[in-house]
Amino acid sequence: MTHSSKNIQFVVQPDGKLTGTLRVPGDKSISHRSIMLGSLAEGVTEVSGFLEGEDSLATLQAFRDMGVRIEGPIGGRVTIHGVGLHGLKPPAKALDLGNSGTSMRLLSGLMSGQAFDVEMVGDASLSTRPMKRVTVPLAQMGAEVATTAAGTPPLKVKGGRQLHGISYQMPVASAQVKSCILLAGLYADSATCVTEPAPTRDHTERMLKGFGYPVRVDGATACVEPGGKLTATTIDVPADISSATFFMVGAAISEGSDITLQHVGINPTRIGVINILRLMGADITLGNEREVGGEPVADLRVRAGKLRGIRIPEEQVPLAIDEFPALFIAAACAEGETVLTGAEELRVKESDRIQVMADGLVELGVDARATPDGIVIQGGALGSGAVNSHGDHRIAMSFAMAALRAGGPITINDCANVNTSFPGFVALAAAAGLQISSSEA
């Protein structure tokens, strides 16, 4: 699953501008969930706009390994022959989830309710990610999920356990933890409720409703009752706002840019990046707003503008958690100081995104200082240089866009994992006007 053996290197020349109309790949969160819920539904679910990246393909393969017949993906179209909530079969071997933390955390909830044992493994990066945040509440429900002594994968889930409904107060805002518990709740003996300390993405709740499974949402609390069923449906996956972010930032920082990003998901729990860029002075307009399969979408037009540094409002942090690497590039190109606080979560993503971004910015001559829960960036001129993405797809793509404002070429090492979330990034970016080349170094 992992491609760490190859060093894929991006070299991006300075200057250039982004223009045109483009559609970035489908939303990763929604692609994962469409496979999971489609597999457990009764009937045939048709998905279009599916993200053919390694992470969502790992989820798809896991359900194939548990006996679900899935056709595709071909051009983003997937047909899932659902087996119902109790129709999964024991896999012949461990489920390999590659680089995907979402797959492992959500599946740990679903697998806890099955009649069979299952082991879940991942690549070197996933094997360092914290899993106690899901195994602790699952244990309260009566599940048995073993981790390493450090609380990391591989995970071993014991089958045949009766799960009990709980009311869980989440200590940290995390959509993956919330989703994991709600999905386990489908198999519990009574209602399961999760209360979050701050809003996180609500794709699981929306999609459960889309499959006809009742979810009660009251303020910060979401509840499911057992005993319902999922009914097959049709899903058109919106373009991923996290992937659109690189182009939004690129257009906002490079003079003469004017791009339109089509069919982007603008779920209120995910639009922190739009809010933050607008606070910095970015010129972003939304058009053609509509709802598709329970998810709001729109076309985003972004034009170059003069950005200014801001203190990022903490309530926006969970709404933009995956977009910060790109936002740090915007901050480096803005006038004045940008301060981020309340973002400790960024240190346990695919890499320590605070430290890795700070190191890369300093390498390019930007005054950037990491803090325990954020970063302080002084906007200024970006130089030229080589940065290491540490195998983190979002860091690689963020520094690629930085070249639009750099004084010379930027070389980015360790970019193989861009394919986990954004297959075709280099070609799409080049077509929009970024002077980027990719090679095996």
Residues 21 and 117 in one domain: no
Q: Which one of 185, 220, 236 terminates a domain? A: 236
pLDDT of residue 1: 38
Residues 145 and 261 in one domain: no
List the beta strands (DSSP E) in 234-334.
234-236, 258-265, 283-292, 295-303
Residues 120 and 80 in one domain: yes
Residues 22 and 78 in one domain: no
pLDDT tops 90 at residue 391: no
pLDDT of residue 423: 84
pLDDT tops 90 at residue 427: yes
| Confidence class for position 227, pLDDT limits 50, 70, 90 | very high
The better pLDDT of the pair 15, 252 is held by 252
Residue 2 falls within a domain, yes or no? no
CATH number assigned to the domain comprising residue 183: 3.65.10.10
**Tens of pLDDT along 85-117?**
999 999 999 999 998 999 999 999 999 999 999
pTM: 0.80
Residues 349 and 395 in one domain: yes
| Confidence class for position 348, pLDDT limits 50, 70, 90 | low
pLDDT of residue 8: 93
Residues 165 and 246 in one domain: no
Residues 422 and 276 in one domain: yes
pLDDT tops 50 at residue 4: no
Residue 3 falls within a domain, yes or no? no
Q: What rounded mean pLDDT belongs to the chain?
A: 94
3-state secondary structure of 210: helix
Q: Return the DSSP state at 283.
A: E
Average pLDDT over residues 61-65: 98
pLDDT tops 90 at residue 47: yes
Least confident range of 29-43, 345-359, 403-417: 345-359
Q: Which one of 216, 236, 256 terminates a domain? A: 236
Residues 406 and 357 in one domain: yes
pLDDT of residue 323: 94
Domain count, the chain: 2
Residues 272 and 217 in one domain: no
The domain containing residue 69 runs over which residues?
Answer: 28-236
Residues 354 and 379 in one domain: yes
The better pLDDT of the pair 163, 294 is held by 163
Q: Omega before 154 cis (within 30°)?
A: yes
Q: Return the DSSP state at 231.
A: B
Residue 225 falls within a domain, yes or no? yes
Which residue in 27, 123, 299, 322 is the catalytic one? 322
Question: What is the percent of the chain where pLDDT is above 90?
Answer: 84
pLDDT of residue 2: 43
Residue 175 falls within a domain, yes or no? yes
3-state secondary structure of 240: coil
pLDDT of residue 349: 65
| Confidence class for position 3, pLDDT limits 50, 70, 90 | very low
Q: Write out the two tokens for 394.
A: 């979002």
Question: What is the percent of the chain where pLDDT is above 70?
Answer: 98
| Confidence class for position 5, pLDDT limits 50, 70, 90 | low
CA-closest candidate to residue 322, choices 343, 298, 296 = 343
pLDDT tops 50 at residue 380: yes
Residues 219 and 242 in one domain: no
Annotate 162-198 with b (16+ C-beta within 10 A) or e (fewer).
ebebbebebeebbbbbbbbbbbbbbbbeeebbbebee
pLDDT of residue 110: 97
**Tens of pLDDT along 270-311?**
899 999 999 999 999 999 999 887 789 999 999 999 999 999
Q: Write out the two tokens for 376.
A: 């302080």
Q: Count Cβ atoms within 10 A of the Cβ of residue 343 and give its class: 0-12 exposed, 13-18 middle, 19 or more buried.
A: buried
Q: Which one of 236, 270, 287 terminates a domain? A: 236
Annotated active-site residue 322? The verdict is yes
Residues 268 and 174 in one domain: no
pLDDT of residue 350: 64
Query: How many CA atoms, within 13 angstroms, populate the side-chain half-sphere of residue 145?
Result: 34
Average pLDDT over residues 213-227: 96
| Confidence class for position 434, pLDDT limits 50, 70, 90 | very high
